[in-house]
Amino acid sequence: MNIFVILKRTFDTEEKIQIENSEIVDDGAEFIINPYDEYAIEEAIQLREEHGGEVTLITVGDEESEKQLRTGLAMGADKAVLIENEEIEDGDPFSTEALLGAYFQEKEIDIILGGNVAVDGGSGQVGPRLAEKLGINHVSSIVKIEIENGKATIERDVEGDQVTVEVSLPILVTAQQGLNEPRYPSLPGIMKAKKKPLEELDLDDLDLEEEDVEGKTKTVDRYLPPEKKAGKILEGDLDDQVKELVSLLKSEAKVI
């Protein structure tokens, strides 16, 4: 099987996020593989272990993304492609879709896996957009997948419930938490990853012009949510408490 994984390098959102002049300050931040994309890599490796074939990782990003690709190779993927987007101004999900679309144009695809959403931008658009562009089926938020005779039986998460769908290959799926437990890259895996092929591509290699990939959206402002204030515990007679609560909801919280 020709298995592809689209992944993104993101900063670790478990760390404190700082914003200065509407830009996220990322010096000193830890960078990781987007956690949902990690599920995708794990599933891709498991599919290869079951059906054979090859797992190729693709990312759109800067030079630094090589580390995340190498980590995926260390987990067990076979090769990796880094599509550089440094020349692109105001890149957005459309830009990523355009770059990936160009890359996949000539490829024989059985399945493309990605994360449900990236924890930084959080658009959740790249996967479905790419499937649309390539004209293949897509299923998002999957928690289980089995492939047999060119068909995939997939369980997808729908607001906490599950729906089972059957789709014919080729497909693009995006991973939801619960799909699997990603393995650690083993030490020998890390050492071997150094020798696995990693191809770097830019706009020229993909036969694209800058305007083909320019973002369609504009960021107007970026700010942190307001800090959560300490709660208030009402005291006294139950009836008075209810009255006070209602008046506070009206006057202070302004929700009713």
Partner 1 sequence: MDFTFTKEQEMIREMVRDFANKEIAPIAEEIDRTERFPIESFKRMGELGLLGIPFPEEYGGSGGDTISYILAVEEIGKACGSTGLSYAAAVSLGASPIYYFGTEEQKEKYLVPLAKGESLGAFGLTEPNAGSDAGGTRTKAVLSSDHYLINGEKCWITNASFARTVIVTALNGTDDRGKKKISAFIVPTDCNGLTIRSEYEKMGVRGSNTTEIVLEDVKVPKENLLGDPSKGFGQFLYTLDGGRISIAALAVGIGKAAYEAALAYSKERKQFGKYIGSFQAIQFKLADMAMELELAQNMVYKAAWLKDEGKPFKREAAFAKLFASEAAMRICNQAIQIHGGYGYMREYHVERFLRDAKLLEIGEGTSEIQRMVIAREIGCPK
Single out the residue of 103, 83, 96, 112 nearest to residue 215, CA to CA: 96
User: How far is it, in rounded angstroms, from Cα 76 to Cα 71?
Assistant: 9
Single out the residue of 47, 49, 55 nearest to residue 148, CA to CA: 47
- 71 binding partner 1? (CB under 8 A): yes
CB nearer to partner 1: pick between 38 and 92: 38
Candidate list 107, 122, 184, 242; residue touching partner 1; CB under 8 A: 184
- 67 binding partner 1? (CB under 8 A): yes
- 18 binding partner 1? (CB under 8 A): no
Look up residue 141 and give its two tokens: 């938020």
Per-residue 3-state assignment (H helix, E strand, C coil) for 165-190: EEEECCEEEEECCCCCCCCCCCHHHH
User: How far is it, in rounded angstroms, from Cα 62 to Cα 253?
Assistant: 44
Question: How many C-beta atoms lie closer than 10 Å to residue 129's C-beta?
Answer: 20
Q: Shortest approach of partner 1 to residue 22 CB, angstroms?
A: 27
- 190 binding partner 1? (CB under 8 A): yes
- 158 binding partner 1? (CB under 8 A): no
Show the site string, 90-129: x = touches partner 1 by CB under 8 A, - = not.
Answer: ----------------------------------------
Candidate list 191, 242, 246, 249; residue touching partner 1; CB under 8 A: 191
- Residues forming the site for partner 1 (CB under 8 A): 66-67, 70-71, 74, 184-191, 193-194
